[in-house]
Amino acid sequence: MNKPAGLSNFQMLATCPPGLENVLSSELESIGIYGKKIVGGIEFHGDLLSLYTANLWSRVAGRILVRLGKFKLFSLNEAPEKFARFPWELYLNRCRDIRVRATCHKSRIFHSGALCQRLVQGISKRLREPVNLVSHKEGEELPLVMVRIVKNRCQISVDSSGAHLHKRGYKKFSVRAPLRENLAAAMIIASGWSGTCCLLDPFCGSGTVVMEAILMAASIPPGRRRKFAFMNWKNFDARLWNQLLWRSDRLFTQPKCQILGIDRDPHAVESTLANLEHAGLSDFARITRGDILGTRRDTFPKTGQIVTNPPYGKRLRTNHSLVRLYSGFGQILRTTFRDWKVSVLCPTDAHVLRRAMNFPLRRSCTFSHGGIKVDLLTESWNKNPQF
């Protein structure tokens, strides 16, 4: 059995949707965290400062998991004894209700429910008092333990984040099929936007891309307004955490560029404005109601960058209004925004919409959004070659 994670040295995993590992890796490196890419995340080692920094600053990660250990496990009978060897008192502290996610692949143990029960028995034995198992879909403020068995090798992890990291704590209002904040951040990072030129989301919805762009341009950590699971751990260092917050607050800077959002849906515009107001970011963006297809060129700067998640549906071949929308969008990209960089999120199998756009795009990365496989498309050639 691997040595359990101690108080100062952790083996960690920053999770992300498969397909975004490169984006997450580059982001973590920008905050001083270097690790190894695996499917669905980045593994890295570090201390409490690394743990706190990853949770506070990562815009792309979904969770930061602490790897407690890995060992061989062949039967349910031996499971409670092995589970009891880990220092659960450090991570559960006074809490006796826990959530568990268990998966089994190509192993003698194949019943995830039974595995969860054995884990609870092992933790109860370690703590010398009963522990209650709560559905992992309920009570996101409760400790979350993850158990994964592959080829009879069991990996135990505890979640340090609490609520999924896309929940920044600034957004109150949403629209149908909203884009998660960490996916919006991944789009912006993958697009190459540096915060020095105008950014426009012409289908802004409830303002997720706009707000993530503001946080980046202003050097505001995405986790500044929220709580984390590690705050309830026995080894939580409040002084270290407050020092990290103090340093992060000193990094704040006024955005040096325009950040714009447009949507023709009045409810979407109202939601964006309300979210900006709630987050205290209203001064850093301009949101207008309108149809991007009918805008004049002199409304916008000469150059800038479009990062957007246009509407799309599942029955693409019969949705003629969507085809017309994408056709018109492609036309305005070739004319009004011909000197702008463009990044568009589009379903992987939406060939009809891509043809309708008639705009040179290449796939930058592929991931899942709301159960749909999507591509982030960026320009594939120079629209204005110099001869």
CA distance 240 to 64: 18
* Residue 59 pLDDT: 99
* Residue 364 pLDDT: 94
Nearest alpha-carbon partner for 260 in 220, 292, 227, 218: 292
* Residue 6 pLDDT: 47
**DSSP tag of 179:** P
* Residue 135 pLDDT: 81
For residue 318 the two structure tokens come to 């019969």
Nearest alpha-carbon partner for 364 in 24, 22, 38: 22
* Residue 194 pLDDT: 92
* Residue 81 pLDDT: 97
List of the chain residues with pLDDT < 70: 1-8, 136-137, 314-318, 380-387
CA distance 25 to 148: 23
Exposure string of 353-385, with b = 16+ CB inside 10 Å and e = fewer, is: bbebbebbbeebbebebeeeebbbbbbeeeeee
Residue ranges per structural domain of the chain = 10-159, 181-220+253-379
Helix, coil or strand: residue 312: coil
CA distance 150 to 27: 29
Nearest alpha-carbon partner for 188 in 222, 227, 231: 222
* Residue 8 pLDDT: 63
User: Which option is the CATH number for 181-220+253-379: 3.40.50.150, 1.10.10.60, 3.60.20.10, 3.40.50.720?
Assistant: 3.40.50.150
CA distance 70 to 154: 5
Do you know the residue count of the chain? Answer: 387
* Residue 380 pLDDT: 60
What is the end-to-end Cα distance of the chain in Å, rounded? 65
List of residues 6+ apart from 102 with CB closer than 8 A: 112, 113, 115, 116, 119, 146, 147, 148, 149
Q: Can you give the pTM of this predicted structure? A: 0.93
Residue whose pair of structure tokens reads 């992060």 in the numeric block: 248
For residue 355 the two structure tokens come to 């043809």
Nearest alpha-carbon partner for 76 in 104, 46, 52: 104
Beta strands in 177-304 (DSSP E): 199-201, 259-263, 286-289
Q: What class, spelled out in words, does domain 10-159 have in CATH?
A: alpha beta
For the chain, the maximum distance between any two Cα atoms, rounded to a whole number of angstroms, is: 78
Equal CATH topology for 10-159 and 181-220+253-379: no
CA distance 105 to 188: 35
Sign of the Cα pseudo-torsion (128, 129, 134, 139, in order) = negative
